[in-house]
Amino acid sequence: MATKRIQIDISSDIFDKVITFLEKLPKNKVKLNIIKNDQEPLKNSDIFSKTSGLISNKKIDPLKWQEEIRNEWNR
């Protein structure tokens, strides 16, 4: 039997209804992989700030950058 894969982004207010419907389908014909995406996508400014300038072509001092990262672990 050939299978096909689909991805559906569902609004949280109808999520339960859609899942209830999908769960009624034959288990040997449909496999559900539910991935809840509770995080909001990062804005461009967030991406640049979280990469320490690596993707914004800023020149960085590798040792200073490493110290900053390690300081975050010590919080």
Comparison of pLDDT for 20 and 74, the residue scoring more: 20
pTM of the complete model: 0.45
10 has a pLDDT exceeding 70 = yes
Q: Is residue 65 part of a domain?
A: yes
Structural domain of 64: 44-73
Q: Is residue 51 part of a domain?
A: yes
Q: What is the C-alpha radius of gyration for the chain, rounded to an integer number of angstroms?
A: 21
Q: Is residue 8 part of a domain?
A: no
CA proximity to 25, closest of 39, 10, 6:
6
Provide the domain count of the chain: 1
Q: Is residue 66 part of a domain?
A: yes
Q: Is residue 24 part of a domain?
A: no
The strand ranges marked E within the chain are none
Q: For 50-64, how does the pLDDT look when each residue is reduced to its tens digit (9 = 90+)?
A: 555 555 566 677 788
Q: Is residue 30 part of a domain?
A: no
Q: Is residue 52 part of a domain?
A: yes
Q: Is residue 67 part of a domain?
A: yes
5 has a pLDDT exceeding 80 = yes
